[in-house]
Amino acid sequence: DAGVIQSPRHEVTEMGQEVTLRCKPISGHNSLFWYRQTMMRGLELLIYFNNNVPIDDSGMPEDRFSAKMPNASFSTLKIQPSEPRDSAVYFCASGTNYYNEQFFGPGTRLTVL
DSSP for residue 2: -
Q: Which residue's CB is nearer to another protein, number 62 or number 101?
A: 101
88 SS3 class? strand
Does 43 help bind another protein (rule: CB under 8 A)? yes
Does 34 help bind another protein (rule: CB under 8 A)? no
Does 56 help bind another protein (rule: CB under 8 A)? yes
Q: Which residue's CB is nearer to another protein, number 9 or number 85?
A: 9
Q: Which residue's CB is nearer to another protein, number 30 or number 81?
A: 30
85 SS3 class? helix
Indicate left, alpha or beta for 52 from its phi (over 0: left) and psi (-120 to 50: alpha): left
Distance of CA 72 to the CA centre of its chain: 15
Where on the chain is the footprint of another protein (CB under 8 A)? Answer: 33, 42-45, 48, 55-56, 89, 91, 93, 98-104, 106-107, 109
